[in-house]
Amino acid sequence: MTPDMIIPLLAATVQSGTPILFATLGAIFCEKSGVLNLGVEGIMAVGALAGFSVSYATGNIWLGFLAGGLSGMVAGGIHGLVCLVFLGNQVVSGLALTILGVGVADYLGTPLIGLKAPGFVPTALPLLSDLPFLGPVFFRHDPLVYISYLVPVGMWLFFRNTRAGLRLRSVGENPDAAQAAGFSPTHYRWLGVLCGGFFMGLGGAYLSLAYTHMWANHLTAGRGWIAVALVIFAFWNPLRAVLGAYLFGGMMAFQFRLQASGTHIPSSFLLMLPYVLTLTVLVFSSWKGGSSATPQALGVNIEPAD
Amino acid sequence: MRKILILLVLSLVVAVGSAQAAEKKMKVGFVYVSPVGDAGYSYAHDLGRQAIEALPNVEVKYLESVNEGADSERVFLNMARKKYDLIFGTSFGYMDPMLKTAKRFPHTVFMHCSGYKSSKNMGNYFGRMYQARYLSGMVAGAMTKSNVLGYVAAFPIPEVIRGINAFALGAQAVNPKAEVRVVWTKTWYDPAKEKEGAKSLLDVGADVIAQHQDSPGPQEAAQERGVYSIGYNTDMSQFAPKAHLVAPIWNWAPYYMEVLNSVKDGTWKAGSTWNGLAEGVVDLSPMGAMVPEAVKATVMARREEIKTGSYVVFGGPVLDQAGTVRLTAATPDDIDLLSMDWFVKGVIGTTE
């Protein structure tokens, strides 16, 4: 592996990690409020379809990206309806949402297969892109990648330094105490579910608007599930999510480059690597005491007081 | 009594009349594994279906995105129960469900694409795509400057390996220095993954990207990087107009027409059909404007030679990666081609 291979590898790492990063951040936001959401895969699929179809219909890629997020919000709203209004089981609702989302997206997206819609193209950031090493790795991507650099920091600050962020976290830890403190835990859980869905939808839209410029059945191809696992790896910390997403994206990019460089390692083994790695860090991080970072009321519905 | 008799006779006449009318109309069904809009494998089959739909007295129905296995069996059963005369199933995994259904409905003719099983009323068919791939390899070999050709491939099965080998042999025929690098994606259709695979090939110096994948993901990667690409299934130039050199393509219409006619006049026989360039089931799409006339002429001359049989792809001696002679015959046995699990010399990668 020569230096001139490392820079493209790291640049590819950032790009293939970006959709997973958006989705992981969405899942963290949702779970911080105490609502477990296993429907990431389905919400991403809906976001990918909405993003592509709006970009195709209007010709405006930013509108498409926004539509991806908003449709993710709507899909997340279904989860909210089941878990927050009807107090349904969060695990079951999430799983159902995955099946529903992927199915609906495939069904509605059939006429769009094979069409070409405008999408995001790499735009080098002035000055920053001229930096040695860091420039080509981080600052010669499409605009959505740059947005993905800001979101984790913003989310981290939101959780740490804003009143709404603190309240959202407290609802995830102890909804009764939040109620006693005089604000509605359900409202903040809605905030978590809807905003979380928004970011998951953005992750899906990244796939159909920037990563590729097309719509295909099952475009998400399991990336939503990786996000679910990375939330635990990240200890529900938005900044650590960056690490997790790039680690997974990096392994994916790395194994392809190993194949292309003509190694004789069986491809089945190489394709397994990203998943093995995810599993390993998951086990490792749980063992290191990551469970103490779990929102204490995660997956527990707020029962009515009376 | 007489009234009843008249009524009976009348209804009999009507029944016979309508039965005759129904007999004239052939019912044909097509079952695809993916949506027809994918500009890929199923789309190519659907072009064939559209050709026979245009014929008089034929009723054609198709079902897309039918999963292999139990789902497909239900679909075949349904069609057979509705007295379809002829059913095409175009995915490998339809083979056993189709065979099961064929045994229960001996009056329906079943045609399975890409498999190897047949019965009294079920035949199988496929095309010698490797012949067209050889020609596309010649174009790639002539156009490369780095002498590195990238190949994004789905699964290491004989069909795909054969295609890669033929591509490499074609490239070497015009450019002995050309090497082919392979990445496996283990998916037929995942645009994001296929694109990533193509990019990794570009990063090791490939300047022509070929694919045995059903999505245009690799084409996009080539176009974005400003290099060339070779499509597959159908003309993919719409996805990468500046990159797309040529594509080995399917052309099912003539063969489907032939099967339909033989079933109609009762001459159809079960068996295996593996047609190639000569019968027109595989071919090359029009070549892009960037391909020089001299290259076009060389490729088209070789196309004629393959058609007439004066040149045979995989005619011996063919060497494997280690340099051992694997095929010696001037015309290789089909069984050797159908079970190919090794790469020819000049391919870099592993079949595992």
Same domain assignment for residues B292 and B261:
no
ipTM over 0.90: no
For testing the chain A interface, which of B193, B200, B209 should be mutated: the one with the most A CBs within 10 Å? Answer: B200
At B14, the pLDDT band (50, 70, 90 cuts) reads low
Structural tokens at position A303? 């029962």
Question: pLDDT tens for residues B227-243?
Answer: 999 999 888 888 889 99
- Residue B147 in domain: yes
Chain A residues with CB-CB distance to B under 8 A? 5, 8-9, 12, 16, 106, 110-114, 116, 121, 207, 211-214, 216-219, 221, 252-253, 256-257, 259-268, 271
Which residues, 6 or more positions from A213, have their beta carbon under 8 angstroms from its beta carbon? A116, A117, A118, A119, B220
Q: Tell me: do B305 and B334 sit in the same domain.
A: yes
Phi, psi dihedrals of residue B122, rounded to the nearest 5°: -135, 125
B220 and B147 belong to one structural domain: yes
Residues B300, B275, single domain; the answer is no
Same domain for B296 and B158: yes
Q: Is residue B18 part of a domain?
A: no
Q: Is residue B4 part of a domain?
A: no
**B177 and B291 in a common domain:** yes
Chain B nearest CA to A286, separation (Å)? 30
Fold of the A3-113+140-293 domain = ABC transporter involved in vitamin B12 uptake, BtuC (1.10.3470)
The yes-or-no verdict on residue B2 having pLDDT over 80 is no
Query: For A60-93, how does the pLDDT look when each residue is reduced to its tens digit (9 = 90+)?
Result: 999 999 999 999 999 999 999 999 999 999 999 9
Mean pLDDT of chain B: 90
Same-domain status, B141 and B117: no
The single residue listed with the structure tokens 């079902």 is: B63
Identify all chain B residues contacting A219, using CB atoms and an 8 Å cutoff.
Answer: 190-192
Q: Is B16 within a domain?
A: no
Domain boundary among B279, B297, B325: B279
Question: What letter represents residue A48's amino acid?
Answer: A
Contact A16 B196 (CB under 8 A): yes
Check residue A245 and give its pLDDT: 94
* Position B72 in a domain: yes
Range of B322's domain?
133-247+285-348
Q: Which chain A residue's Cα is nearest to B196? A: A253
Q: Which of B37, B150, B183 sits opposite A114 (nearest CB)?
A: B37
In which element (H, E) is residue B273 found? Answer: strand B272-275
Interface A-B: count of C-beta contacts within 8 A: 110
**Where residue B58 sits, what CATH number does that domain have?**
3.40.50.2300
Residue B8 has pLDDT above 70, yes or no: no
Look at the block and give the residue holding tokens 């090939």: B201
| A209 pLDDT above the threshold of 90 | yes
Confidence band (pLDDT; 50, 70, 90) for A111?
Answer: confident
CA atoms lying within 13 Å on the CB side of residue A130: 2
Residue B69 zone, left/alpha/beta (φ > 0; ψ -120 to 50; rest): left
- pLDDT for A274 equals 80
Tell if the CB–CB gap between B183 and A266 is shorter than 8 Å.
Answer: no
Report the candidate in A228, A214, A226, A223 with the shortest Cα–Cα distance to residue A49: A214
Do B289 and B262 lie in a common domain? no
Q: Is residue B15 part of a domain?
A: no
Q: What would the mean pLDDT of B156-182 be, rounded to a whole number?
A: 95
In a domain, B181, yes or no: yes
Q: Which residue has the higher pLDDT, B352 or A248?
A: A248
Residue B230 in domain: yes
Residues B230 and B333 in one domain: yes
Interface test with B, best of A15, A116, A212 (most B CBs within 10 A): A212
Q: What pLDDT sits at residue B229?
A: 96
Domain boundaries, chain A: 3-113+140-293
Contact of A48 with A264, CB cutoff 8 Å: no
Contact check, Cβ <8 Å, A260/B183 = yes
Among the candidates B230, B262, B279, a domain finishes at B279
Convert the pLDDT of each residue in B16-29 to its tens digit.
555 554 456 899 99
Residues B184 and B269 in one domain: no
Picking from B65, B184, B348, the nearest residue to A262 by CB comes out as B348
pLDDT at residue A10 in the model: 93
Identify the residue among A106, A257, A258, A275 best suited for mutation to test binding to B, counting B beta carbons within 10 A and taking the highest: A257
Lowest mean pLDDT among A205-219, B91-105, B126-140: A205-219
Percent of chain A with pLDDT over 70: 97
In this prediction, residue B7 carries a pLDDT of 60
Residues of B with CB under 8 A from a CB of A: 34-35, 37-39, 43, 64-65, 150, 156, 181-187, 189-193, 195-197, 199-201, 203-204, 206, 215-217, 220, 224, 238-239, 348-350, 352
- What is the number of domains present in chain B? 2
For helices B158-174 and B293-308, what crossing angle results, to 10°?
130
CB atoms A212 and B192 under 8 Å? yes
pLDDT (tens digit per residue) in A133-158: 899 899 999 999 999 999 999 999 99
Q: Which two tokens stand for residue B340?
A: 């190919």
